[in-house]
A and B are shown apart, each in its own frame.
Chain A
């Protein structure tokens, strides 16, 4: 089965850096995705990791440790528009590409 855990809520200050952690236990694993979801909207892709290490995309970076079943999303230079839910999702390697999502971390940016 699949189990993905991430904090329910976080708060951070505009201009600061925040790290959102995700741990996973999956019967098969082919990669870890991060999506952003504003309230009432669709998830939008941020990044994914297949191999261990850090992937950087502008203000967003994501890290993966397969041996520890651990990932994090790092957001730098926070802006008010970054207030959203951040969804960690694992993809399995059983010949399909379904995403298994965590419950999401609701991030609130304060001035």
Chain B
């Protein structure tokens, strides 16, 4: 069964450093997402991406964050200058394009645990 993959599984970085989290969505999917989950808290939406552009972003997704689809398979999340509060599990997800008004299930990757020290 096809699955979303993410690398690395765990990233430790110092405050102020840049990190790039990588994701390979399911190959025939067209919608891509990043979510994060701070330990013990709920899963929070960061950004959605479709047709090579951001379709929506949350308040969390400020200027420190960016996303990119550098080639036909990878989808990346970059945090330019990490802060302590960026420590969280970051999940990538993807879904097929659905009919208008018909949601499709989102498949989540295993996550990258980011620890900022």
A42 contacts B111, CB within 8 Å? yes
B42 contacts A103, CB within 8 Å? yes
A102–B41 alpha-carbon span in the complex (Å): 10
Q: How many contacting A-B pairs (Cβ < 8 A)?
A: 64
Produce 1/0 per residue, A22-64, CB < 8 A to B.
0000000011010101000111110010100000000000000
Q: For B104, what are the chain A residues with a Cβ–Cβ distance below 8 Å?
A: 97
The tally of residues in A whose CB lies under 8 Å from a CB in B reads 27
A31 contacts B103, CB within 8 Å? yes
Determine, out of B11-19, B43-51, B66-74, B75-83, the stretch whose residues face the partner at the interface. Answer: B43-51
Q: How large is the interface on B (under 10, 10 to 19, 20 to 34, 35 or more residues)?
A: 20 to 34
Q: Which of B95, B101, B109, B111 contacts A93 (CB 8 A)?
A: B101
**Quick one: given A41-B110, A43-B108, are A96 and B101 in contact (CB under 8 Å)?**
no
